Structure 1
Amino acid sequence: MIEVLVSEKLVVRVPCAVIEHNGKILAGQRSAALSFPLQWEFPGGKLEKNETDEEGLVREIREELNVEIEILHKLPVTSKDQGWREIILVPFVCRLRTKNIKLTEHEQIMWLKSEELPSLDWTEADLDIIQNYYRYLAAK
């Protein structure tokens, strides 16, 4: 009998922010050095040990954009199975509490009207967030 060791799939929980400001939404372009190079995303990042989604999101936005946010509404969780790992995106609609953005990880950011969001090359998982954001706007 041959035994094969199969490793467990890595599951990564990533809170992210749909940041609204002056009628527009912030999109961040991923670094060329990261996975999904130069694609667009809603900023956020992996949780640290014992962090809640909300705590992790506030910390990640502070680290990536150098701003403070206020979390307004949680959107439905989306996931993307990449075979060796599953990324679980936990999106929140947010607004800026401070406005002096300084990029530390993204190539660039853009502020877009909601109807302009599909014009960018988004990561696949972020496309689902856009659809859920549209449902959120329609229900407001």
Structure 2
Amino acid sequence: MNEVLVSEKLVVRVPCAVIEYNGKVLAGQRSAALSFPLKWEFPGGKAEKNESDEDALYREIKEELDVDIEIIQKLPVTSKDQGWREIILVPFICRLKTLQITLTEHEQILWLGPEELSSLDWTEADLNVIENYYEYLSVKK
């Protein structure tokens, strides 16, 4: 009998923030040095072991943008299978508690009206978040 060692797929849970302010939504452009260079995303990052999605999001937004947020509502979880790993995006509608943003990881940020979001070159996983955000907005009206 032949035995084959199969490595487990890496599953990465990534809470992210759809930050609303004055009718606009914050989009962050990934650094050229990161995976998916210069693609657009909703800010956030990997949850650490034994860290809740919410705690991870508060920490990541503080690290990436140096602001505090308030979580308003969770959107549906989406995932993107990349073969060797699966990225699970856990999006939350958020609002800023502090307004002075300092970028530490992104090339730039933009504030866009919801109808403008599709004009950017987003990561594939974030495209699903946009669809769910549009659904959220249609129900909210």
For residues 53 and 2 of structure 1, what CA distance do their matches in structure 2 show? Answer: 41
**Which letter does structure 1 place at the counterpart of 2:110?**
M
What root-mean-square deviation, in Å, do the aligned CA atoms of Structure 1 and Structure 2 show?
Answer: 0.6
In 1, distance between residues paired with 2:90 and 2:29? 18
Matches within 5 A, 1:1-140: 1-140=1-140
Question: How many angstroms apart in 2 are the aligned matches of 1:139 and 1:75?
Answer: 12
Query: Shift of the alpha carbon at 1:74?
Result: 0.3
Measured after TM superposition, the shift of residue 120 of structure 1 is 0.1
Deviation at 1:40, TM superposition (A): 0.1
Amino acid at match of 1:66: D
* SS of aligned partner of 1:26: strand
**Identical aligned pairs, as a percentage?**
79
TM-score (norm 1): 0.99
Structure 2 unpaired stretches of 5+: none
Opposite residue 111 of structure 1, the aligned amino acid is W
Residue 2 of structure 1 deviates from its aligned partner by 2.7
Distance 1:59 1:84 in 2: 27
Instruction: Name the TM-score, length of structure 2 as normaliser.
Output: 0.98
